[in-house]
Structure 1
């Protein structure tokens, strides 16, 4: 018999799309060496880290901006490139941070609902761009649905955005996207100087706790953003961790493939149970269902829940995936006697 867990004591934390695995062994070794120098300040401004990333991306270091995770860099972007009282255009739901950061910068929100297939509605987003628009945000893959816009569709969209309006292309989960669907940042930015590509080491690289994010942009936009760089703002261990991560590319790829395989297996198993998640290109699945988040929580699984009842769960850990399926199986049976009752029947899990 399945036992309900206390919702406050979740056994599986699947709400933050974290990498379920510790950093790669060589990265841990590099961090251990860095820890021995923790009595010293990091670089006043993180130029060395920018150079490491620039070499990997095959661009000039003057086109790289680093910060406290993608969220920290996004805040720098909005503060440098927008004006209070104006607006940003983005799809909703999206990464929770964008509405929060917008309010911190005094920006209004033009939130465009997703299409039924979980894709961003670029036509409606384009129509929302006007003389009050300070920036447009596009996620690829999209958070929380995991969908990926076709390359040509995205390029056509960017070409129609006024050149003075920055387009922030959030690629936080790009490492989980198959190679044939990826875009080359340096070429994209050379052709479209108003595009800023935002990335992080928190997801595939498993370094969320170190808060390492970066943006790749034109030299002019990068210069404006770096004016807001916090002195001593990046931990010294970031340089070692990033260098070691890049050096362990083959190991990282194996880990990514493992997470992707678990994602696809879990998605297929959920479909067999009538839960039709969009095809994801990230390390999470979006689960439609008016009470599915509550149900998972009742069985000790924390997810990211949305106002309409849908949920997003991190994937990659087979044990957590099995727990999700067990919870769904119990929910479809009506849950155990004495447990919470589904108020809307099985249709809430299968729309």
Structure 2
């Protein structure tokens, strides 16, 4: 029998991405999706109108150069347009970074558990992952990560705040990492949840860009700006690094609707960030309630909280997720490790607090 086409060996090793489930309809009960770290607020009217106007040009290709979006980002952050690269969400930029900078067998150092797309993207690039366990508090073990950098390391990934555990890095910590790794190692500061950070000494990503030539910032419009369905994010770095990202990007990847909505979101940033502040206040209420119930929850600097439920069999996460679904909320279990729950509508958060209190009492 003739041989059939086969994909590269690394393709078979790619772990599947597990998206947050959408709740099934429940008669007589409003259900809530708290499994994907989405912004629960609908688009602002002006953002929606910009998207509708752009949709009138569905028969035309979008601006492949994202010209207007880059100009708006340039005005917003004070960098030349050549230092930005846009893609279909910050996750697409992770794929592009590894494709542009990693040869087969090159190493990528990252925390674990962290964003589950990291091992998928590096495996697809035929790179070798070097996962470094997070601390018991869910934080990056930065000393161990720096120590893991070797001769084959091309990229070091920093997820701040860390998804799914919640803690964020400080500016001092990131600068210490940058001082401790060779300048040829690309240090990626993945700031998908940066707008939710409320802590002392927060990372100043754009100051890092001024001081280090091997840094790339990743940001997204999916979370705080509420454009998850449109898929648009951006990277900021040097002209050379941003150029490499654009060189490997999918032609016409960011739709015209997404570009228009992103620009309108930047123009309406004050109103959008009022919503973020409301979510931050809800996050604080949820954290206080969970800790009052007896749970030890890591510092939460994103729009989610993490229940650390280590169990080799995965039963604790299964029980938690099943109980949550019975209460009308869908959460994101990581079997054998824990459960991540997004901050949602107040009613959804109330149900989480009630559920968590009942579960803690039943297991204590």
> What TM-score, normalized by structure 1, do the two folds share?
0.89
Preserved CA contact (<8 Å) 2:217 2:235: yes
Segments ≥4 residues shifted beyond 6 Å: none
Gaps of 5+ in 1: 1-6, 335-344, 347-351
Aligned to 1:299: 324
What's the offset of the Cα at 1:180? 5.8
Aligned to 2:358: 330
Specify the SS of the correspondent of 2:229: helix
Aligned pairs for 1:249-288 (under 5 A) are 249-288=269-308
Aligned pairs for 1:81-160 (under 5 A) are 81-160=101-180
- CA change 1:264–1:292 in 2 (3 A) is farther
Specify the SS of the correspondent of 1:26: helix
| Bigger Cα displacement from structure 2, 243-252 vs 177-186 | 177-186
Preserved CA contact (<8 Å) 1:141 1:147: yes
1:308 maps onto 2:343 in alignment: no
What's the offset of the Cα at 1:273? 1.1
| Bigger Cα displacement from structure 2, 215-224 vs 303-312 | 303-312
Gaps of 5+ in 2: 1-21, 26-30, 311-315
Q: Can you list the C-alpha shifts for 1:219-270, whole angstroms capped at 9, x where unaligned?
A: 1111112111222211001232122111212211210110001111011111
Q: Can you list the C-alpha shifts for 1:180-215, whole angstroms capped at 9, x where unaligned?
A: 644443331121110100000000000011000110
| Root-mean-square deviation (Å) | 1.8
- CA change 1:221–1:193 in 2 (3 A) is same
Aligned pairs for 1:8-87 (under 5 A) are 9=24, 11-87=31-107
Preserved CA contact (<8 Å) 1:45 1:233: no
Specify the SS of the correspondent of 2:173: helix
Q: Distance in 1 between matches of 2:205 and 2:298?
A: 26
Specify the SS of the correspondent of 1:210: coil
What's the offset of the Cα at 1:122? 0.4
Aligned to 1:342: none
Q: How many residues align?
A: 330
Q: Distance in 2 between matches of 1:278 and 1:129?
A: 27
Preserved CA contact (<8 Å) 1:20 1:316: yes
Q: Distance in 2 between matches of 1:156 and 1:119?
A: 15
> What TM-score, normalized by structure 2, do the two folds share?
0.86
What's the offset of the Cα at 1:109? 1.2
Q: Can you list the C-alpha shifts for 1:8-37, whole angstroms capped at 9, x where unaligned?
A: 737322121111111222211211222222
Higher relative contact order (Cα pairs below 8 Å, separated by 6+ residues):
1
Q: Distance in 1 between matches of 2:165 and 2:232?
A: 24
1:320 maps onto 2:335 in alignment: no
Q: Distance in 1 between matches of 2:162 and 2:38?
A: 16
